[in-house]
Amino acid sequence: MKNTYKKALTAAVCAALAMSLASCGKSDKGAEIEIPILETSSPVYNTVKAEVGDISEKYYGEASYGVAHETSARFTRSGQIKEINVELNKQVKKGDVLCVLRSEEIEEQIEEAKVWLEQAESTYNKLLTKGGVSAEELEYARIDYELQKLTQQKLQRELSQYTVTAPCDGTIIMINNRNKELNVNTKVYPDWLCQIADNSQNALSCKMPAKTDSIGYGTRVIITSTKGEYEGYVTGMYQQGEDTTAQYVYEIRCDDGEVEGANKFKVCFDVYDKKDVVKIPASAVKSIGERKFVNLLIGGVKVEQDIETGIDDGEMVEVTNGLVGGEEIIINGE
């Protein structure tokens, strides 16, 4: 009885499983699932070859006449102010005393040296008129007299450094009091005291938003006007204004005198030229912090390469280390 029951139960379970499997098979055949396959393409890179050639460091701007030549009156030594005579927009004449530093110590040295000079002069003159003096003794007295004169002259030159005078006729347009007010007893150090606009000199000037360390006195300048191209050089540099409004002014002298044409000229500061260097487009150089690198294309694969750079002319950059020339440089993408 029990065996018959087990056999019947087993048969029923098997039948149920068979029906279930048959049902699943029909369902799969009636509704097949399609999985889309996305086609990928290799990235397309724009590349250029790293070149070997010449490069120059140049800066460009505009220049014009009509800006008064500016020059600075300067402290040439440290000290404490004894007198101060500077005011904005004050008219001054060349040689006017603008500031005097306390000079008691040097004045005492001058007085003492004056006594020694008078004694040496007196001794030498007595020996000259006395007669019967050996040539050696007379020469010694003469040398001592000359040395005392040189000492006196040296001290007088030092004393002149305690007085700041106007270097030209003009107008005081700026005073160097950014860090402290300039009053009697103010401690000062070698630096400029004030800027004076000399209206008698009509300078060719180019204003830049900031100082460029590469441009200095004597830097060659190419000047382009409506009448042609001229050459000149930098003869003066100074800051105009303060803080965020400051501009840096470069005064230019033309080799041929005054530049002809409309009073607005293109100028190129031709700072430096180098030949046979590796150079690449400036846009190809990437940076992360202080690290500089480029993306190379090697066998269809993008590879980062660290580099060191030199001159940047605004379009091309000199590579001083990391490339030898001929490499494929990626110029698009990250």
CATH of the domain at 322: 2.40.420.20
Q: Tell me what pLDDT residue 156 has.
A: 94
The enclosing H or E element of 327 equals none
* 244: in domain: no
- 236 closest CA partner among 218, 214, 251: 251
Q: Tell me what pLDDT residue 58 has.
A: 85
Asked whether the beta carbons of 220 and 270 are under 8 A apart, the reply is yes
Reduced to 3 states (helix: H, G, I; strand: E, B; else coil), residue 112 is helix
Is residue 168 over pLDDT 80? yes
Q: Tell me what pLDDT residue 84 has.
A: 94
For residue 232, the tally of other CB atoms under 10 A from its CB is: 21
* 298: in domain: yes
Bridge-based pairing of strands 308-312 and 316-321 is antiparallel
Model confidence over 189-219: pLDDT tens digits? 998 899 888 877 777 889 888 888 889 899 9
Q: How confident is the model at residue 178 (pLDDT cuts 50, 70, 90)?
A: low
CA–CA separation, 132 vs 117, rounded Å?
24
Number of structural domains (the chain) is: 1
Asked whether the beta carbons of 200 and 70 are under 8 A apart, the reply is no
Check residues 263 and 119 and name the one with the higher pLDDT.
119
For residue 299, what are the domain limits? Answer: 47-55+275-330
* 319: in domain: yes
Q: How many residues does the chain have?
A: 334
* 234: in domain: no
CA–CA separation, 172 vs 197, rounded Å?
6
10 Cβ partners below 8 Å, 6+ apart? Answer: none
* 1: in domain: no
Average pLDDT over residues 33-44: 63
For residue 277, the tally of other CB atoms under 10 A from its CB is: 18
* 290: in domain: yes
* 9: in domain: no
Residue whose pair of structure tokens reads 């630096």 in the numeric block:
191
Whether pTM exceeds 0.85: no
* 316: in domain: yes
